[in-house]
Amino acid sequence: MHLHKEVEEHLLRDTFIKFTGEITQMPPVRSHVKRQYRQREVYYSEIIEISGKDVLFKVGVESGTYIRKLIHDMGENLGVGAHMVELRRTKVSTLSEKNNLVTLQDLEDAIHMYVNEKDVRLLNQCIGNIESAIDFIPRIFVSDTTVDPVCHGSPVAIPGIVKLTDFDKGELVAIMTLKGEIIALGKSVLSSEDIKSIKRGVAVKTDSVIMNIGTYPTYKKVN
């Protein structure tokens, strides 16, 4: 954040406190959403360093919060004006800078070591499992016999579910194998509690299939 005029530190700190919690903001003129006032939550806002008119801070916000706008509004509130200089995303969902961040250079080096030196170690560190990106989504684990039909887009019926986490009706749910591999993403037709108490019927509708067809075999129907 770059302030257009110097302000006293306590005033700046007061403004940061004022812009924490529920805030209202108008998306900027050039934005990908409709321009109407929206309520967003600022979970925390922490000043790291103040150097003259420059302020470095860390902020945790609800998705859809415009930081450039937040800074602009804080500048107006202070009466001096301010604009954003640089922004870095340090965290999103369950992923953060603490995970294995890979630069394009790292990736190039890792590929070089793999291709020319037959050394897999760097590449191993670079590429994670796709499941790690969706570990926050509630999930159901289905039997081996259910995997192939789901790969073909079939919904999951209650008898196919072996294990599950908590979710509501209508929620986004990950459909996993018993080995923990992602098969597809779907939408729950019933809540997890209903699934536990009901014996048959559709539980989760399959939306997007991730696993390749043929990973698991087609089992013959027994009846």
In sequence order, the 6+-apart residues with CB closer than 8 A to the CB of 62 are 40, 41, 42, 43
The CA angle 94-126-175, to the nearest 5 degrees, is: 50
Binding status of residue 80 toward other proteins by CB under 8 A: no
Contact 38, 25 (CB under 8 A): yes
Question: Cβ of residue 44: shortest distance to other proteins, in angstroms?
Answer: 5
Binding status of residue 38 toward other proteins by CB under 8 A: no
Measured in degrees and rounded to the nearest 5, phi and psi for residue 149 equal -55, -40
- Structural tokens at position 131: 């499941």
Pick the closer one to other proteins by CB: 76 or 97. Answer: 97
| Cα radius of gyration (the chain) | 24
Q: Which amino acid is at 216?
A: Y
Pick the closer one to other proteins by CB: 6 or 135. Answer: 135
Out of 13, 79, 217, 218, point to the residue binding other proteins (CB under 8 A). Answer: 217
**Number of amino acids touching other proteins (CB under 8 A):** 66
Question: Cβ of residue 99: shortest distance to other proteins, in angstroms?
Answer: 5
Burial class (CB in 10 A: 0-12, 13-18, 19+), 220: exposed
| Inter-helix orientation angle 67-78/9-18, to 10° | 130
The C-alpha atoms of residue 21 and residue 44 are separated, in whole angstroms, by 8
Q: What is the largest CA-CA distance in the chain?
A: 79
Binding status of residue 16 toward other proteins by CB under 8 A: no
Question: β-pairing, 202-209 with 182-188?
Answer: antiparallel
Name which of residues 134 to 193 contact other proteins (CB under 8 A).
136, 138-139, 141, 143-144, 147, 161-166, 177-181, 192
Question: Cβ of residue 189: shortest distance to other proteins, in angstroms?
Answer: 16
Binding status of residue 120 toward other proteins by CB under 8 A: yes
Q: Which stretch binds other proteins (CB under 8 A): 10-18, 49-57, 74-82, 95-103?
A: 95-103
Question: Cβ of residue 52: shortest distance to other proteins, in angstroms?
Answer: 22
Can you give the binding site for other proteins, defined by CB under 8 A?
Answer: 20, 31-32, 43-44, 60, 62, 66-68, 84, 86-87, 89, 91-95, 99-104, 106-108, 111, 114-115, 120, 123-124, 126-133, 136, 138-139, 141, 143-144, 147, 161-166, 177-181, 192, 195-196, 215-217
